[in-house]
Amino acid sequence: MYADIILDISHEKLDKTFQYRIPEEIAQKVAIGTMVRVPFGRGNREQAGYVTGLSDTPALPPEKIKPILSVDDGRVGPVSRMIELAAWLKDNYGSTMAQALKTVLPVKAKVTRRVKRTLVLACDRETAQTALDTFHRKHAVARERLLSALLSAGRLDCALAESKLNIQMSTMRDLEQMGLVDIEEQEAYRTGISPYKEAAGGRLSMNADQQRCVSAVLSDFDAGRTGTYLLYGVTGSGKTLCYLEMAGHMARAGRQSIVLIPEISLTFQTVRRFQEYFGERVAILHSRMSQGERYDTYLRAMKGEVDVVVGPRSALFVPLPKVGLIVIDEEQEESYASEVSPRYHARETAQHIADTMHASLVLGSATPSLTSFYRAKTGKYRLLTLPSRATEQTLPSVGVADMREELRKGNRTPLSLELAQKIQDRLERGEQTMLFLNRRGYLGHFACYSCGKPVKCPHCDVAMTLHVQGGHRWLSCHYCGYTSPVPRICPACGSPHVGGMRAGTENIEAQVKRIFPEARVLRMDADTTSGKDGHERILSAFANHEADILVGTQMIVKGHDFPDVTLVGIVNADLSLFAPDYRAPERTFDLLVQAAGRAGRGRRPGEVVIQTYSPDNYTIKAAARQDYEAFYAQEIAYRKLLGYPPVKSMLKILLSSCDNQRLSACAEAVGEAVRCSIAGKPEADCTGPASDVIARIKDSWRQVICVRSPSRSDLILVKDLVDARLCGDPGYDKIFVQYQFDD
């Protein structure tokens, strides 16, 4: 038996493993994730490593393969668990072990350790004063200046002494050797969190509904029972308060918590809430942190110096040693599904971690995913409900503006007459408004009015988007980043009648400023939040009432709490409704209800206006009533009829290549092999191959094959079959494959 072992987990190139022989006497102790000691290099220097794979086949002649020296004493550390998790991701989502390891392990290469040094007196003041007099007589100016400052202050930061007193470190070391001072060293962590000075608070005051939900989770945990709970509460019902109390209970029990949020934009308010409760024992993780900040976060977690980690889906992989609770807030969000290999989903991955660590998993949402609600209805999850808002305020009133009628009335602006009047009323009353449009840019796709064809990216099969800033106009592809000047004629037919189709957030911002010149307007989308602190800067300004109107994409409608927002306008509810995806109605309903939930969260009642060209659609009607259960009943009926998740599990096999002819041949062969493999399973079916929704990205052609089955294990077997087929045929060496599971 042989083991693949990774030796240096701190190195960027995590794909380098070495094979070792497993001696018979320790074979029962070796598993994926096990820490072992092995000989390495020409001198056979003993080094620690981790097992990442097992095999019966030697990669070299057996006599040339070195044996494992010993196995760790049996304790399973955080890194071992991360390697076990990487193996689970590889097997369940289809990727290489290298890709899985890079997902779950911290990259530490070229990260320097930060140390804070402080000078303190190592002698009594009388001895120090005698030394000071001696320095003065001998004209030892630097030593005199340093010791004098230290006698005055008691303690002195070394960096401050260097910068303000112009004292070299060598001088400090001289005084240390004389026994006059001690230099204390302390790890200085880069946290990525702005300092928060208020002291951590105690237990929170909850209403009866919140107490009931929290008690259900914690009483099970205290009794040694863990499970998965769906916390279904209307917007403003106080789900975050429940998370805080649960995490506080875990901290008092010596356990740690992971709280996942879907957007970086939510970090600002969420971290503040947790800092109020836990003080400095909160860590944050997100993609815009520096490498040093991320490394220090991992280090603090492994040392047990944090009680709660807050962040998007990657926070699942912070190596906390004693996880007791995992929370996924806004669990329905599609950002919890990774778009790169391994294409894991945070919900299923969190379930696996919770089962391994004997932790509780809480999924929270005002609009749960159909998958989670279906599992709650069928008894797989425990359903907990918060039916009303935590304060005395009721849910906002919602109206629907039929934009077809607006056109008949001659209104060509993106705002209905009703919405424009309500915005004016808020401006006069000193209240705030949020305008939501799920499309950034100045206009939507740029197209020809004569032939109707959009101007497409030359590298991707998508329409380009018009951007305008400071009088400069350009087209941009939101997939590969390609930009080009705005054409004067249509590239397809030569017509001079070209222009933008549909409005984007930049255009809405410009229109609002034109209609309401006295209003202070902020815009929040991917273009305005590109900097490290872009989200916090805009949200902080709006919270401080530095703007009257906030225009933005979906990042403004998830989880934010602004008491002075009494009006929310949804500019075009149809943008996501008719997307070529079976989940389009579900995603649209979620966006509309979440957007509506931002209104009326303070003392004043809220109003919402949904602008649509499809007012009779069942999704729009249910969202206007904020009736999730009615929408669920309608949508799950369609899913059952068509056999879509969550009724059946689905595997999407995405094949891509720069050679379209070779790709087509490969896709046909793979599709036929898949159909043969499920031929004896009448409830399983396979469709495709067919071009993906976007047939080409970055000059790479894309085809998809979809397989559905009531059993996810059947789909994993299909994945393994495709891997074997592609690896075994040298003709497919330039075909790339990705797997996406939907449950």
Q: Is residue 298 part of a domain?
A: no
Q: Do 251 and 230 sit in the same domain of this protein?
A: yes
CATH of the domain at 57: 3.40.1440.60
Place 157 in a pLDDT band, splitting at 50, 70 and 90: confident
Helices 660-677 and 712-728: angle between axes, nearest 10 degrees: 130
Q: Is residue 392 part of a domain?
A: no
> Which of 62, 80, 104 lies at the terminal end of a domain, its last residue?
104
**Residue 15 confidence (pLDDT) above 60:** no
Q: Do 81 and 46 sit in the same domain of this protein?
A: yes
Q: Return the amino acid letter for 546.
A: E
Q: Do 216 and 338 sit in the same domain of this protein?
A: yes
Q: Do 529 and 588 sit in the same domain of this protein?
A: yes
Q: Please give the pLDDT value at position 189.
A: 62
Long-range residue pairs from 487-493, CB within 8 A, at least 24 positions apart, any chain: 487/455, 490/448, 490/450, 490/451, 490/453, 490/455, 491/455, 492/448, 492/451, 492/453, 493/448, 493/450, 493/451, 493/453
Q: Is residue 430 part of a domain?
A: yes
**Residue 198 confidence (pLDDT) above 70:** no
β-pairing, 35-40 with 70-71?
antiparallel
Q: Please give the pLDDT value at position 197.
A: 45
Are 273 and 238 contacting, i.e. CB atoms less than 8 angstroms apart? no
CATH of the domain at 542: 3.40.50.300
Residue closest to 261 by CA, chosen among 314, 350, 329, 362: 329
| DSSP characters over 31-72 | -TT-EEEEEETTTTEEEEEEEEEEESS-SS-GGGSPBP-EE-
Q: Please give the pLDDT value at position 372.
A: 96
Average pLDDT over residues 553-559: 75
**Residue 99 confidence (pLDDT) above 90:** no
Predicted structure pTM score: 0.76
> Which of 48, 76, 104 lies at the terminal end of a domain, its last residue?
104
Coil/strand/helix, residue 286: coil
Residues in CB range of 730: below 8 A, 6 or more apart: none
Q: Please give the pLDDT value at position 655.
A: 93
For the segment 516-539, what is each residue's pLDDT rounded down to a tens digit? 999 999 998 877 877 667 777 888
Q: Is residue 300 part of a domain?
A: no
Place 199 in a pLDDT band, splitting at 50, 70 and 90: very low
327 vs 37, higher pLDDT: 327
Mean pLDDT lowest among 69-83, 164-178, 222-236, 321-335: 69-83
Q: Please give the pLDDT value at position 503.
A: 64
Paired tokens of 482: 């390609």
Q: Please give the pLDDT value at position 11.
A: 46
Q: Do 436 and 456 sit in the same domain of this protein?
A: no
Distance CA 274, CA 269 (A): 9
Q: Do 404 and 548 sit in the same domain of this protein?
A: yes
Place 202 in a pLDDT band, splitting at 50, 70 and 90: low
Q: Is residue 201 part of a domain?
A: no
Mean pLDDT lowest among 76-80, 145-149, 651-655: 76-80
Q: Please give the pLDDT value at position 110.
A: 45
Q: Do 715 and 591 sit in the same domain of this protein?
A: no
Q: Please give the pLDDT value at position 102.
A: 82
Q: Do 91 and 138 sit in the same domain of this protein?
A: no
Place 270 in a pLDDT band, splitting at 50, 70 and 90: confident
* Number of domains within the chain: 6
String of b and e for 353-388 (b: at least 16 CB within 10 Å)?
A: bbeebebbbbbbbbbbbbbbbbbbeeeebebbebeb
Mean pLDDT lowest among 118-122, 168-172, 459-463: 459-463
**Residue 502 confidence (pLDDT) above 60:** no
Q: Please give the pLDDT value at position 166.
A: 85
Residue 204 buriedness (CB in 10 A; 0-12 / 13-18 / 19+): middle
331 vs 9, higher pLDDT: 331
Q: Which domain holds residue 24?
A: 2-104
Q: Please give the pLDDT value at position 265.
A: 57
> Which of 361, 386, 411 lies at the terminal end of a domain, its last residue?
386
Distance CA 529, CA 553 (A): 11
Q: Please give the pLDDT value at position 204.
A: 64
Q: Is residue 109 part of a domain?
A: no
**Residue 553 confidence (pLDDT) above 60:** yes
Q: Please give the pLDDT value at position 416.
A: 93
Place 78 in a pLDDT band, splitting at 50, 70 and 90: confident
For the segment 440-483, what is each residue's pLDDT rounded down to a tens digit? 544 455 777 677 677 888 887 777 877 777 678 888 876 667 88
Q: Do 152 and 284 sit in the same domain of this protein?
A: no
**Residue 96 confidence (pLDDT) above 90:** no
**Residue 148 confidence (pLDDT) above 60:** yes
Distance CA 248, CA 584 (A): 37
Kindly report the number of other CB atoms within 10 A of residue 288's CB atom: 15
Q: Is residue 110 part of a domain?
A: no
Q: Do 352 and 232 sit in the same domain of this protein?
A: yes
Q: Do 532 and 601 sit in the same domain of this protein?
A: yes
Distance, CA of 446 to chain centre:
31
For the segment 598-644, what is each residue's pLDDT rounded down to a tens digit? 888 778 889 999 998 889 999 999 999 999 999 999 999 999 998 88
**Residue 375 confidence (pLDDT) above 60:** yes
Q: Do 676 and 700 sit in the same domain of this protein?
A: yes
| DSSP characters over 161-207 | HHHHS---HHHHHHHHHTTSEEEEEEE-----S----SPP--PPP--
Q: Please give the pLDDT value at position 559.
A: 63
Q: What residues does 229 pair with on adjacent strands?
A: 362, 382
Q: Is residue 203 part of a domain?
A: no
Q: Please give the pLDDT value at position 229.
A: 98
